[in-house]
Amino acid sequence: MGKDSKHSIRVLYPHFSENELAEAEDNLDRYLAVVLRIFECTEYETGQQEHKLTPNAGTLGSDSPKADAS
């Protein structure tokens, strides 16, 4: 994160020392990296399932009229 981010963290935690601010910034960076990884994994898994659907299945549930007509 850049200098602007440190300023934002400093505003959120004005009582933190320089070491505590650096640690808070590092923790935020690692947290955001985990969130991004979870999102990317979810997107990947969702993409993997799309090609497994049959062309006529779509997103209809098993209790839909179209599913019963098969």
**CA separation (Å) from 58 to 22, 43, 65?**
49, 18, 13
Q: What's the pLDDT tens digit per position in 20-67? A: 999 999 999 999 999 999 999 988 888 765 555 555 555 555 565 555
The predicted structure's pLDDT at residue 30: 96
Q: What is the DSSP letter of 70?
A: -
The pLDDT score that the predictor gives to residue 43 is 85
> In angstroms, rounded to a whole number, what is the distance separating the alpha carbons of residues 35 and 68?
40
Is the overall model pTM greater than 0.85, yes or no?
A: no
* More confident call, 8 vs 17: 17
- H-type alpha helices, 1-70: 3-12, 18-50, 65-68
Q: What is the pLDDT of residue 44?
A: 83
Q: What is the rounded end-to-end Cα distance, in angstroms, of the chain?
A: 55
